[in-house]
Each structure stands twice: as structure tokens, then as C-alpha cells.
């Protein structure tokens, strides 16, 4: 229910027609608040120079100049008003919202909040045009309205940023929203935080409910989710692991030995930080380490000391497996793709060298002729983005070309 208040009948708090100015609470709520420093600067200016710009009213109701009105009322400063005419209340609300986009001091999230208030008004206009066009789909060709496109145009934001802000508005706490309004964080960062928490919960549930496949395999490839101590639970940290990790003891306790054929080979992926632990895991699974394959990546990543550009895979055996060695070396060259995704050249080499039944543990991609085990075994099936055809991805598997960076504004 909309409530209104009417200013006291003082001469300076009336319209030019002599009517008291009405403050409509619903309309006032459409105006983004000023930061403390902005309000202080505005107040100092009005005290020193007076209220230079007229307040805008519609049928005696204030629709622009609420902050100036408050300051003038508090200090008894005269002001001028100008009357605007609108067809109805919705038209007045739309003018108020669109007028706010002209403020230079709005953070992207504040622009998105205004866009979300504008959304039902534009959608209502779109439906009216559809009815005028004679159907639920076809619009009046003189006034076509695409709600999403119109919101993005007016707000100066991308479609994705507005959609993410809508989810933030529904799920984030008040403190996060205040930081967004102050420009202390970004729409993308907070959206990724929300999605990250949701995805993490789904992945943990999937890992906890998964069981190792049954059978005897001649070839086992394993890429355990090694646990890193540095900022492991910080969902905004660039180097965080985007899936549930396991301790070394948890990895060693897996019944991998029961999966292995009497004569089998294990390819155990590890990182620079977990080389020693990888030897322990191989032994716990009943394998003997023979050599190390090093993946030399085409670009460097993160690192606590030196920035990493390699990843390692222990070649381990049980019994006397069949291996068709020719002149393979300990170096594998392959392009870096999404987080934890191994190069296709590795699988091609394993298939060439190692005959027999194959299984991949902690798989993130299904492969023909293999048993794939893992809660995300279908994550990396496409080699290119289905949206744009690109092949450059963030660590969480999202396409860089399709998702804007920390700046939400449209170029």
C-alpha cells in the first residue's frame, strides 16, 4: 500500500501553484540513496549557493529532487518547482527511474537495481504492444519492445550483468548489497560467490554418494583432488580448487587396488606441491612407481614460489603389464584448457601404449572405450564453447568470451 506525506504549508515547501508538495513513499523508494560524502557535498553546495535546480513535481507529488528537498526543508532554504505531465503513474515511475541513470556516481549494481525496478514497467509496455498487434507474440510494429534489450540499453549494462544482479538481489545479504552499492565489490564477483557455494554443495553431495566402479582394469588413470591449504575455502580466490578436495589419507584409503588387474599400469596425476604424497598414494594402492611424465604447458599459471607451467603424472606398475613402448619421452606438450582438464595428447598416448580395459578415476570427461568415474565426468565433453565456438575458458569451465570480466558496463 502506497503511503504519502504532505509537507507543512510553508511558502518554500509548496509548488509554484501554491499547492503543498506531496512525498509519495513508493516513488521516493525509487531514488538510490546518496553516499555520506555525496550528501555532505550537496548540502554544503545548497547552503552556500541555494537550490539552483528546480524540483520536479507531478500533480503536486515530488518525482525528482528528494535529496535537495530534504536539505531545503531542514535549513529553510527556498527552491523552485517545475510541473511535468504524464499519462499515468507508471509513466511517471518510468521517467523517474530513467532519469536516475544520468547520475555519474551510480555503481553498476545500483544501475542494475534501477533496471530491475524498470523491468515490470517495460514488460507491461511490451504486453500492451502485443495486444495492440493482435496477438500474444506479434508486437505493434510501430513500438516494438524487447524487455531484456531495452533494460540493457537504458542501464548501460550487459544482459548477463542484469540477470546476475537479479539473483544477487534475491539471495545475497544486505551487507553484500551495500558493498556493491559502494563499489567495493562487483556483480560478477558476488554472483560467482553465490554460484560457487551452490555448485560446491552439489559436488560434495555427488562425491559423497559415488562408489568406485567394479571390475578388473589393465589401465588406471587417476587425477585425485589434492587439497591445498592456501585459501582453500575462499570462493573468490583465483587459485582455489573449484571442486571438493580430499586429504592424502582419504585418497590412500580408496579401494583402487581392487580395481587393478594382476598386471596393470597406473597413471597418477599430481602437482609440484604433492609430489611426495603421490608416491605414498601409489604405494597404498599397490603400485610401484617407475618414471614421471611431465606435461609442459603452453602458458604459466599460479604459484606460491615459482609460477607453475608443468604438471606431473607418475607412471606406476603392478605385476608385469603390457606396454607398447617405442620412443616416447618424459615430456608431454599440450594446451592448457579448463581447470584440471588434461590434454587430449595424454589420452592418445595412453591408448597407443596401453592395451586392455581402461578406467579413469575422478574423470571430468567421458571417453569412448573407457569407464569414466567421477561426479563431473561429463563436464568437459565439448572442446569448444557451444555459445560462441571459443576455446578459452575460466577455471570453472565458463567461456571467457561469453562472460564479461569485473567491469559490468557495456563498452
C-alpha cell at 247: 586429504
- pTM tops 0.85: no
Domain boundaries, the chain: 1-105, 215-373
Query: Which burial class, exposed, middle or buried, applies to 208 when counting CB atoms under 10 A from its CB (0-12, 13-18, 19+)?
Result: exposed
pLDDT in tens, the chain (411 residues): 344 444 443 334 555 555 688 999 999 988 888 888 888 999 999 999 999 999 999 999 999 999 999 999 999 999 999 999 999 999 999 999 888 888 767 899 999 999 898 888 888 877 776 666 655 544 444 555 577 888 888 888 888 899 999 999 999 999 999 999 989 999 999 999 898 888 767 765 665 565 667 778 999 999 999 987 644 444 444 444 545 678 999 999 999 999 999 999 999 999 888 999 999 999 999 999 999 999 999 888 877 788 889 999 999 999 999 888 888 999 999 888 877 789 999 999 999 999 989 999 998 888 888 998 876 665 555 455 555 666 665 544 555 566 554 445 443
Domain 215-373 fold: Rossmann fold (3.40.50)
As a dihedral over the C-alpha atoms of residue 93, residue 96, residue 99, residue 104, rounded to 10 degrees, the angle is: -120
CA distance linking residue 83 with residue 14, whole number of Å: 12
Amino acid at each position: 500500500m502506497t503511503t504519502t506525506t504532505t509537507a507543512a504549508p510553508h511558502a518554500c515547501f509548496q509548488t509554484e501553484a501554491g499547492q503543498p508538495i506531496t512525498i509519495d513513499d513508493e516513488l521516493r523508494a525509487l531514488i538510490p540513496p546518496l553516499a555520506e560524502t555525496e550528501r555532505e557535498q550537496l548540502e554544503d553546495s545548497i547552503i552556500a549557493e541555494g537550490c539552483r535546480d528546480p524540483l520536479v513535481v507531478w500533480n503536486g507529488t515530488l518525482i525528482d529532487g528528494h535529496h535537495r528537498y530534504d536539505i531545503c526543508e531542514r535549513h529553510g532554504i527556498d527552491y523552485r518547482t517545475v510541473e511535468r505531465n504524464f499519462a499515468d503513474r507508471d509513466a511517471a515511475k518510468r521517467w523517474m527511474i530513467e532519469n536516475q541513470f544520468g547520475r555519474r556516481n551510480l555503481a553498476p549494481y545500483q544501475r542494475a537495481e534501477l533496471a530491475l525496478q524498470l523491468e515490470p514497467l517495460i514488460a507491461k509496455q511490451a504486453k500492451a504492444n502485443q495486444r495492440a498487434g493482435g496477438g500474444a507474440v506479434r508486437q505493434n510494429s510501430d513500438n516494438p519492445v524487447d524487455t531484456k534489450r531495452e533494460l540493457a540499453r537504458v542501464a548501460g549494462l550487459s544482459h548477463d550483468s542484469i540477470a546476475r544482479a537479479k539473483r544477487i538481489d534475491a539471495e545475497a545479504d544486505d551487507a553484500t548489497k551495500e558493498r556493491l552499492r559502494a563499489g567495493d565489490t562487483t556483480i560478477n564477483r558476488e554472483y560467482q560467490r553465490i554460484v560457487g557455494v551452490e555448485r560446491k554443495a552439489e559436488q560434495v553431495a555427488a562425491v559423497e554418494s559415488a562408489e568406485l566402479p567394479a571390475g578388473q582394469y589393465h589401465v588406471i588413470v587417476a587425477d585425485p583432488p589434492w587439497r591445498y591449504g592456501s585459501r582453500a575455502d575462499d570462493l573468490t580466490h583465483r587459485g582455489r580448487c573449484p571442486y571438493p578436495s580430499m586429504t592424502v589419507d582419504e585418497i590412500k584409503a580408496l579401494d583402487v587396488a581392487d580395481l587393478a588387474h594382476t598386471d596393470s599400469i597406473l597413471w597418477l596425476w599430481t602437482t609440484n606441491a604433492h609430489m611426495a604424497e603421490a608416491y605414498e598414494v601409489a604405494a597404498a594402492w599397490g603400485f610401484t612407481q617407475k618414471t614421471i611424465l611431465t606435461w609442459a604447458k603452453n602458458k604459466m599459471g599460479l604459484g606460491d614460489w615459482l609460477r607453475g607451467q608443468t604438471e606431473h603424472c607418475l607412471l606406476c606398475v603392478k605385476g608385469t603389464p603390457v606396454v607398447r613402448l617405442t620412443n616416447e619421452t618424459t615430456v608431454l606438450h599440450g594446451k592448457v584448457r579448463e581447470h584440471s582438464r588434461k590434454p587430449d595428447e595424454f589420452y592418445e598416448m595412453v591408448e597407443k601404449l596401453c592395451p586392455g580395459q581402461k578406467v579413469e578415476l575422478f574423470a571430468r570427461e567421458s571417453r569412448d572405450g573407457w569407464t569414466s568415474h567421477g561426479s563431473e565426468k561429463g563436464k568437459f565433453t565439448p572442446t569448444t564453447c557451444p555459445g560462441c565456438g571459443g576455446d578459452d575458458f575460466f577455471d570453472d569451465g565458463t567461456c571467457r568470451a561469453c562472460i564479461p570480466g569485473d567491469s559490468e558496463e557495456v563498452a
